[in-house]
Amino acid sequence: AAATATATGDDGAADASARGLLRLLHALESATERGVGTLSENVLEALEASDETAADAIAALRRATKQASMQKAMERREKMLKEMGLTRLSPTPSGVDAYGSASCSPSPSPSGGAGFLSLSATSQPRSPGSWPASPGAGGRDILTVAVSPSSVKGIEDVKDEDEEDDAALVCRVCFEGYKLRPRELLGVYCFCKRVENAPSAGGPGGRRGAGYSSVSHFNAIHFACHAAARRADVALRTPKREWEGAALRNSETLTNNLLPILAARVSSSAYAAAVESWWENVSNVGRPEAVSARLRIAIGDVAMLIGR
């Protein structure tokens, strides 16, 4: 009742206090300790039902949070593409077809130390979750893959180099990452769905079929923290399913899978178990897939991500 009175106050001081309270409750929605997130969500739902102005303010806060999460995910994506040496060029140069085939001889880079391969993606309209069946006549963007010194390093060197970068991934529950807990496996929440007419590893002329597409806001969480939060969600008076509670921790964005992020000190057994859990969740949104099909599915998923 006090929250409703504050949210519907007429004078300026009450209005400022109400907005501050709404921001606080919205920030607490993603908390998992002692049911704080659930209680905050219940209060906001009550305010939405009782006052239209409060409902509009809450909707605006959630839109802003979602937009910030999308922007953060885009920045991470651009950073990863930059580290991989991927850039977008347009229009299509000669020698490159609509499927990304390039001439066999690499071209020298301006710096003289690296070559590049060009991949193209059509901008022709298509149905969501599918890929064009044949080259279009429309404009095309080119993904140029520049070969950098870091791209030819051994996997162990890359792991050591990325140790500090991995520390930037912070768990949404305990707010610690690989810097403070180097042996605790971190993952990022993802949303996976089954798509038709997905590209395969066979190239432009290869057979096409069903595949899986995954997206992420790169909200990280320890697998142990996710398991603890899952148990807490089940123990609530109104139990939540695993991915319903995870959606709150994922900035109120749909999620149905957890992608493990390997670090140098994480045990191989823990990582292998997390990988198996990933594929089990993938089968839950589609159908059981043979182990031999995993590479094809993963390559198709990466191809769709690069082509976006």
pLDDT digits (tens, 9 = 90+) for 38-52: 888 888 888 888 888
Q: Provide CB contacts within 8 A for 191, sequence distance 6+.
A: 214, 215, 216, 253, 254, 255, 256, 257
Which tokens in the block code for residue 217?
A: 């806001």
Using pLDDT thresholds of 50, 70 and 90, give the confidence band for residue 267.
very high
Cα(108)–Cα(231) distance, integer angstroms: 55
* pLDDT for residue 11: 60
Query: pTM score, two decimals?
Result: 0.50
The proportion of the chain whose per-residue pLDDT surpasses 70, expressed as a percent, equals 64
Cα(283)–Cα(213) distance, integer angstroms: 13
List, in sequence order, every residue forming a beta bridge with 16; answer none if it has no partner.
none
Name which residue leads in pLDDT, 113 or 304: 304
Cα(20)–Cα(194) distance, integer angstroms: 41
Of 55-59, 79-83, 125-129, 180-184, the one with minimum mean pLDDT is 125-129
Q: Which of 49-63, 104-118, 153-167 has the highest mean pLDDT?
A: 49-63
Rounded mean pLDDT, 231-253: 90
* pLDDT for residue 152: 45
Using pLDDT thresholds of 50, 70 and 90, give the confidence band for residue 306.
confident
List, in sequence order, every residue forming a beta bridge with 37; answer none if it has no partner.
none
Residue 54 contacts residue 22 (beta carbons within 8 Å): yes
* Closest-CA residue to 107 (of 118, 121, 91, 96): 118
Which tokens in the block code for residue 261?
A: 């992020």
Residue keyed to tokens 């300026």: 12
Cα(120)–Cα(142) distance, integer angstroms: 4
Q: Provide CB contacts within 8 A for 203, sequence distance 6+.
A: 99, 101
* pLDDT for residue 184: 94
3-state secondary structure of 168: coil
* pLDDT for residue 51: 85
Cα dihedral: 159, 164, 166, 170 (round 10) = 160
Rounded mean pLDDT, 135-154: 47
Using pLDDT thresholds of 50, 70 and 90, give the confidence band for residue 242.
very high
* Closest-CA residue to 4 (of 72, 67, 51, 73): 51
Residue 171 contacts residue 178 (beta carbons within 8 Å): no
pLDDT in tens, 13-26: 777 788 888 888 88
